[in-house]
Amino acid sequence: MKLNNRSDLFWATLGEGGLVLALGIVAWATKQPVIFASLGPTAYELVEQPQLRSARSYNIIVGHLVGLAAGFAAVYVSGAWTAPNVLSSGLVPIPRLWATTLAAGLTTFLTLILRAGQPAALATTLLVSLGAMQSLRAAIAIILGVLIMAALGEPLRQFRLKHTRLRTTGYGT
């Protein structure tokens, strides 16, 4: 049975809020930044657009991991390790510009080859290439956050697939 619009509003809100809350609690309890900006759009896709290929666990995990690896590779290749963090400094040094450009292209290329498209993965690569999350601790937190989101989100995605009138998006289905 498909949920009606009022129930859909309730379950969508509860699902997305619940995913973010769960990650926030894990982050708070472990004192690790396992919640970060690119997981917001991932939660949205899991709950609001569960029929999209990019909402599948494979796409979420592989996409974000590719974004993470591409971000680190681009920072290394461009020599941006010591360049200021764009988000905290408000400046875009040339090495960060090149790192971001390379990381975005590499993420897109690899996710297409691996059939692991995940729009939020590009946000993950930007977090790394812009300098906001370019430490080993941050990389581990990203991996854990993505795995937790996929593990908690998949049952919600399945529930939404079974009980929601799916909206046509015109892409990725």
Domain-located, residue 57: yes
Nearest to residue 37, comparing CAs of 138, 152, 119, 123? 123
CA–CA dist 37, 120 (Å, integer): 9
Domain-located, residue 173: no
Domain-located, residue 172: no
Q: Total domain count for the chain? A: 1
In the numeric block, the tokens 């690790």 are attached to 32
CA–CA dist 110, 63 (Å, integer): 9
Nearest to residue 124, comparing CAs of 152, 150, 145, 153? 145
Domain-located, residue 88: yes
Residue 118 near residue 112 (C-beta atoms within 8 A): no
What is the tens place of the pLDDT at every residue in 46-75? 998 999 999 999 999 999 999 999 999 999
In the numeric block, the tokens 């472990």 are attached to 30
Residues of the domain holding 132: 5-163
For residue 173, pLDDT beyond 50: no
What is the tens place of the pLDDT at every residue in 118-134? 999 999 999 999 999 99
Q: Cα dist. 139→28, 94, 164, 173 in Å?
A: 17, 23, 35, 30
What is the tens place of the pLDDT at every residue in 1-43? 355 577 778 888 899 999 999 999 999 999 999 999 999 999 9
- Give the CB-side neighbour count of residue 80, counting CA atoms within 13 A: 31
Domain-located, residue 130: yes
Residues 45-56: b if buried by 16+ CB within 10 A, e if exposed: bbbbbbbbebbb
167 falls in which pLDDT band (50, 70, 90)?
Answer: low
For residue 159, pLDDT beyond 50: yes
Domain-located, residue 104: yes
pLDDT, position 102: 98
What is the tens place of the pLDDT at every residue in 72-120? 999 999 999 999 999 889 999 999 999 999 999 999 999 999 999 999 9
Domain-located, residue 170: no
Residue 124 identity: T
Domain-located, residue 171: no
Residues 92-115: b if buried by 16+ CB within 10 A, e if exposed: ebebbbbbbebbbebbbebbeeee
